[in-house]
Amino acid sequence: MKAGDKIILRAYKSDGTCYRWHDSYVEKIQENCVIIVGGPGRRIHQPDGGFVAEYTIRSYLWLDKPISLLELFDEAGELLELYANINSPVVVAENEVSYTDYELDVVLKPGHSAVIVDEDEFDDAIVKFGYSKAF
């Protein structure tokens, strides 16, 4: 994998079910981090049919940290939000990167405070996947 390569990003639930996948391009590879970017108009696939991306998304995917960071940009290149996804470290295999999503995220929009989102999904995941209290 190298800068410019087209890759597939796959996000899984803790039971191994893939719930979202899409094409992106490798922007840069740093030590323990793959940075990918995908523009507006691309298809984001989901079991329910998915949707078309409205924004450019740059994702920082760490191989050794339980988090990924997404930057969302509008058509003029202005930052719309930072989105921290709590997940397993990313696995890289040929033209694919993947992670397990733990259903808890933090969003920060310019000029606002950070907000925890998806708490209801996280509560459901605790029960469904048996996350420990320590987790």
58-97 confidence digits (pLDDT tens): 999 999 998 999 999 999 999 999 999 988 899 999 899 9
Domain ranges in the chain are 6-129
Per-residue model confidence (pLDDT) at position 14: 83
Cα dist. 31→38, 43, 66, 84, 111 in Å? 21, 29, 16, 19, 31
Please identify every stretch of the chain with a pLDDT value under 50, giving residue numbers as ranges. none
Q: What is the CATH number of domain 6-129?
A: 2.40.380.10
**Residues 6+ away with beta carbon under 8 Å from 11:** 18, 19, 20, 21, 87, 98, 99, 100, 101
89 DSSP 8-state letter: P
Q: What is the model's pLDDT at position 77?
A: 94
